[in-house]
Amino acid sequence: MDLHLKGKTAFIAGSSRGLGYAVAKGLLLEGCKVVINSRSEDQLISAAETLRRETGGVVFPVPGDVTDTAVPEALIAETVKFLGGIDLLVTNAGGPPPGKFESFDEFTWQKAIDLSFMSHVRLIKAALPILKESPAASVLTITSYSVKQPIPNLVLSNSIRSATIGLTKTLALEMGETGIRFNSILPAWTNTERVTELMKNRAEQNGTTIENEVRLQSQASALGRMGTPEEFANAAVFLLSPAASYITGVMLTVDGGMYKGTF
């Protein structure tokens, strides 16, 4: 299937590794020009070099912390400078720390809100005037299946990511007449650095090993394993593409059957 992505321009937040990196690679392989982003400049430059080598595509690294109130607007301005416009926007950030409700103070809650909700708000707000100029504008928020099925010991993520789902659905309805599509992917456990860190935390709490915790969590999937970043990216690239032109307001679980609900 031709996804009609060749020549399209994309900004992807949180893309020096993990799910964001996989989406960047998938879009580059389809002929997009891409700006990738991360807080770590060294890690970002290394990721850009690897992506160029593996895809032969056009990719620019633009460092910046999306939790800083002034940074999202600057990131979008830099992207327009490099690419000339934005067709595709992917809002993404690493998740907040694990822990139970009573272990977090108000400062930690506010940091988590800036990371897992306001970063989406600010990036979308900054990019909207540019997206309105695109004939194939599409926004993808990356959240978690925890908005449907809370994950133990992740109260910050369980709570705050739900706000991003509400934002995504609302914008799909409000902005439909502009032609901009808004969707979200709700990944379950996927083999990324972030998941390895969470499995390490579980192993320390339970007195086991990371490998044992991965094995136990994998049993929750109907397929008996965790997903790969590439499997996530395949779904993301399609939703972002003009091939999905009549899909908006969708919250897609990419979870290998880990979510047990019917809706």
pLDDT at 56: 97
Q: Which residues, 6 or more positions from 19, have their beta carbon under 8 angstroms from its beta carbon?
A: 92, 142, 187, 190, 192, 229, 232, 233, 236
CA neighbours within 13 Å on the CB side: how many for 133?
Answer: 9
pLDDT higher than threshold 90 for residue 94: no
The angle, 0 to 180 degrees and rounded to 10, between the axes of the packed helices 155-174 and 106-113 is 40
Share of the chain above pLDDT 90, in %: 94
pLDDT of residue 128: 98
Task: Please state, in angstroms and rounded to a whole number, the distance separating the CA atoms of residues 45 and 52.
Answer: 11
pTM over 0.85: yes
Question: Is the C-alpha dihedral spanning 132, 64, 170, 253 positive or negative?
Answer: positive
What's residue 198's pLDDT? 86
pLDDT of residue 32: 98
pLDDT on residue 258: 94
127-172 pLDDT, tens digit each: 999 999 999 999 999 999 999 999 999 999 999 999 999 999 999 9
Sheet of 9-12, strand order: 59-61, 33-36, 9-12, 88-91, 138-142, 181-187, 251-254
Q: Which residue has the tokens 């307001």?
A: 249
**Strand 33-36, strand 9-12: pairing:** parallel
Sorting pLDDT into bands at 50, 70 and 90, what band is 263?
Answer: confident
In terms of C-beta density within 10 A (0-12 exposed, 13-18 middle, 19 or more buried), how is residue 145 classed?
buried
Instruction: Measure the CA–CA gap between 198 and 154, rounded to whole angstroms.
Output: 10
- Report the DSSP beta bridge partners of residue 90: 12, 140
Question: pLDDT tier at 194 (50, 70, 90 boundaries)?
Answer: confident
Q: Which CATH fold topology does 9-188+228-254 show? A: Rossmann fold (3.40.50)
* Portions of the chain given CATH number 3.40.50.720: 9-188+228-254
Residues for the chain: how many in total? 263
Res. 60 pLDDT band, cuts 50 70 90: very high
* pLDDT score recorded for residue 120: 98
Do residues 197 and 153 touch, judged by C-beta distance below 8 A?
no
Angle, CA of 167, 229 and 36, to the nearest 5°: 65
Given a cut of 90, is residue 79 above it in pLDDT? yes
pLDDT in tens, 5-40: 999 999 999 999 999 999 999 999 999 999 999 999
Rounded Cα distance, 83 and 95, in Å:
28
